[in-house]
Amino acid sequence: MSDTVLRGWERTMSGDGVVFRHPRGTIRIRPALVPLQSFAAIMRANIPAGGDVQGPIAMVNAEGEYGAMVNAISGDEQFTLVVLFAETSYSLIIGHTADKEAHRLFVETVRRTAYGNSLGLGSDRRRPYLYERPAGWSGVRRAFSTLWIPDDAARTRASIEVFHARPARNSVTSLQYRRVYEQLPREFGEERPSEPVSAENRHGIQSQLVTFSGVVGGEPTKVTDAALADGRMLYLVRLSSRAAPHDTYFPVLQQIARSVRPLAAPKGDVDVLIDWFD
């Protein structure tokens, strides 16, 4: 069954997704694909190698979700691909035309389709964000954070946990989440924490660093929290290690905190709807 939704295009439902057909090519939307893959891997799997590649460049869509776009041209043939990332899946939008005259039309239509494409996750949720990863550290993906581990962690027990950003507005579940996942154990309550130190962030977010000390399992241990707030979301980056080497990791924590990029807010554009109606 097909109908016309996008002006001049025919829409056909296909599996979980949608195919838009135009006399000069197609655009396919495949939502919620698993497992999660990097943009580079998705690009390799969906776009023929060779040809003139433009991008990839990052994009943020109307919901504030992150993704990337790439355009690949080989002769008259063009593939335009956008990936939008959710936490555990991704949506893929891919346009294909073999008509050189239609290249610009397809790039623009794919871009606008992706911009208005809903992942349906809601912006008022814990979300990952962009920052500079610590060079040479290994990452472990957790449910609501990434744990970064240096090569010498066996001796120093060091790690930096980049928690997902969370809404600044409290709720019952957000308060429980903080207690369960973010609150430090009571061992860190016996000594007075350091005075908060304000820190600069490249993107203008307010940032404060506080160091806590305690004895955990017989080991003197330190934790430094870098807490950032942009008015809408809160960002927590936590350095933990044995007490003695703690300060040697401080520059790495500062580098991450300095680079935290505030999450984009959803846009209230109406014009994403206009092209959809005949």
Partner 1 sequence: MILHLTMPGGWTSIRAGDAVIHRKGRIGIRALPIRELPENAKFWIERSALKGAPAGTKWTQRKRAELVTRDGWPAVVVEVVLAHETFQQVRVIALYQFLTYASGAEVHSDPEDFAHEREAIYDILQGGRPDWGPQETVSLPSLLEGVVL
| Positions in the binding site for partner 1 (CB under 8 A) | 35-41, 55-58, 66, 68, 85, 128-133, 138-141, 146-147, 149, 153-155, 157, 159, 162, 261
Of residues 11 and 111, the one with the C-beta less far from partner 1: 111
**In this complex, which beta carbon is closest to partner 1, that of residue 135 or of residue 273?**
135
Phi, psi of 88 (to 5 degrees): -125, 10
The Cα–Cα gap between 18 and 26 comes to 10
- Between CA 215 and CA 218 the distance in angstroms is 6
Is the peptide bond prior to 35 cis by the omega test (within 30 degrees of 0)? yes
Nearer to partner 1, 105 or 216 (CB): 216
For residue 165, the minimal CB distance to partner 1 (Å) is 10
Max CA distance (Å), the chain? 72
- 19-30 burial by CB neighbour count: b if 16+ within 10 A, else e? bbebebbbbbbb
CB of 83 to partner 1, least distance (A): 9
Minimum CB separation of residue 93 from partner 1 in Å reads: 16
How near is the Cβ of 127 to partner 1 at its closest, in Å?
A: 9
**Do 92 and 128 meet the contact criterion of CB atoms below 8 Å apart?**
no
Q: How far is the CB of 47 from partner 1 (least distance, A)?
A: 14
Q: Which is nearer to partner 1, 64 or 105 (CB)?
A: 64
CA dist 273 → 151, 197, 235, 269, 278 (Å): 50, 46, 33, 8, 11
Closer Cβ to partner 1, 139 or 220, answer by number: 139
Q: C-beta of 134: minimal distance to partner 1 in Å?
A: 11
Q: Which is nearer to partner 1, 4 or 138 (CB)?
A: 138
Cβ proximity to partner 1: between 98 and 140 the closer is 140
Shortest distance, position 22 Cβ to partner 1, whole Å: 27
Residue 37 vs 123, nearer CB to partner 1: 37
Angle in degrees, CA 73, 75, 76, rounded to 5: 85
Nearest to 81 by CA among 60, 105, 106, 116: 106
Q: Output the smallest distance, CB 53 to partner 1, in A.
A: 11
